[in-house]
Amino acid sequence: MRILCIGISHKTSRVALRERLAFDTAATEKALGSLGNCWPQAEAVVLGTCNRSEIYIARPLHGHPRDHELRKWIADFHQVQIRDFEGNLYSLTDGEAVKHLFRVASGLDSLVIGESQITAQLKQAYAQASESGTARATMNMLFQSAFGVARDTRSEEGARFAGRSVASVAIECAVRSMGELTGKCVLSIGAGKMNELMVRRLGELGAGQVLVANRSFARARRMADQFSAEAVDFASLPDLLHEADVVLTSTASEAPLITRAKVEHAMQHRGDRSLLVIDIAVPRDAESEVAEVPGVKLFDIDDLEDMVISETSKTCDWRAGAVRVIDQSVSDVLDRLKIRQVAPTIDAMYRFMRSVADSELNSAVNKLATHDDIDADRAILARALRRTIRRILHPAIHNLRKASASDAAAAHIAALRKLFNLSDSDK
């Protein structure tokens, strides 16, 4: 079995490219269906987050898809040219692919080192693939191992970083930019997990007024009620931009919700009040041109990365321990994969040998039933055992003799001697 990982992340590209290759829930479902139809013998899991789009594949050793086939599939699925992302994709195989998955699960490969949100996203991706039928035995073993690694690396010291996430960094960015949030009006656009984390933190910081806008007003109201915020009509977004001091946005919208025109109109009614927009959505909710409007500060997911780079030194000790856990876990998983690879052959050998032994045993029993002479019985059983041995060894001996004149003969001989523990004195 071969394990593949192909993807793009915040480490290899800017958000402008990542959003073109993004997988939301609906796109993931469609992608899994397409991958399953194209390569039914392979297993597949698709992971899409604000910082990465990745496809994990488990396929027979000489099967499909291959790397170039996956690249073409990505281009076709997202309707982009391969040349647009060729240099930004990473392709990993077997041990490196497993190691990467474990690093992702533990938060080592995240924008915010050690963040725990990625584990929940991985679990969702695996569950969706299981439902679609593209994640079966190998992916189950692989992803369950990844979840175990995530748990082990976050025990004890790693727990200190579990609360860190892109959402928490977005709030830190708001505080740094505004000085404080007391008395400020903060608008959250969207009602997903990231919005929930941000709104929760806003309440802890004592923001003056927190507004929640979502296409589903009922969902906005549920989240607002949970955190003592106020649900507002999504259709009134242009007017809300007049009121808000800070806009935090994270939706699955395919088109920008915050346009330059809307912001320019809002700024005409704000006097000297500045506007801070923090957009952690992929694809982005705010047009990049919004940053050109006087009095407006715009931060996207890439801008937040600069805030966390200086803090990576604080995680050095934890990362070293996490790497040790991951390295050992990768070794264990690869050993299990190798065992799984030979298991069908071992089972087939046992079935073959049992069928031969059962056949000879039935023949011997029929002959034993005809007399009660113990010496004759012993002779019958001896002949049955000899025939059993000959029949079991016949395919191997026949194929070994056929290969005797080829370059493969030495390898076959060495393999047989090793498999049957034949010593040099047997030569």
The distance from CA 310 to its chain's CA centroid, rounded to whole angstroms, is 27
119 and 150 Cβ atoms separated by less than 8 Å: yes
- Residue 283, classed as helix, strand or coil, is coil
Identity at 145, one-letter amino acid code: S
Cis peptide leading into residue 65 (ω within 30°):
yes
What is the arrangement of strands in the sheet containing 275-279, beginning at the earlier edge strand? 230-233, 209-214, 185-189, 246-249, 275-279, 296-299
Task: Give start and end residues of each alpha helix (H) in 107-180.
Answer: 117-132, 137-153, 166-178
Residues with Cβ within 8 Å of residue 382, at least 6 apart in sequence: none
The distance from CA 386 to its chain's CA centroid, rounded to whole angstroms, is 54
333 and 141 Cβ atoms separated by less than 8 Å: yes
Record the tokens describing residue 377, joined without a space. Answer: 């019985």
Identity at 407, one-letter amino acid code: D
Q: Is 185 one of the catalytic residues?
A: no
Give the phi and the psi of residue 116 in degrees, each rounded to 5: -100, -10
Q: Do the bridges between strand 230-233 and strand 90-93 make them parallel or antiparallel, or are there none, so unpaired?
A: unpaired
Torsion, CA 143, CA 326, CA 333, CA 412, rounded to 10: 140
- Residue 41, classed as helix, strand or coil, is coil
Record the tokens describing residue 297, joined without a space. Answer: 């500060």
Q: Catalytic residue among 5, 50, 173, 185, which?
A: 50
Q: How many residues does the chain have?
A: 427
DSSP-assigned letter for residue 366: H
Which residue shows structure tokens 């006087």? 294
What is the arrangement of strands in the sheet containing 43-48, beginning at the earlier edge strand? 43-48, 52-59, 2-9, 90-93
- Residue 210: which of 234, 232, 177 has the closest Cα? 232
Instruction: Give the C-alpha separation, 232 to 159, whole Å.
Output: 36
- Residue 174: which of 232, 122, 248, 101 has the closest Cα? 248
- The alpha-carbon radius of gyration of the chain (Å, integer) is 31
Report the catalytic residues.
Answer: 50
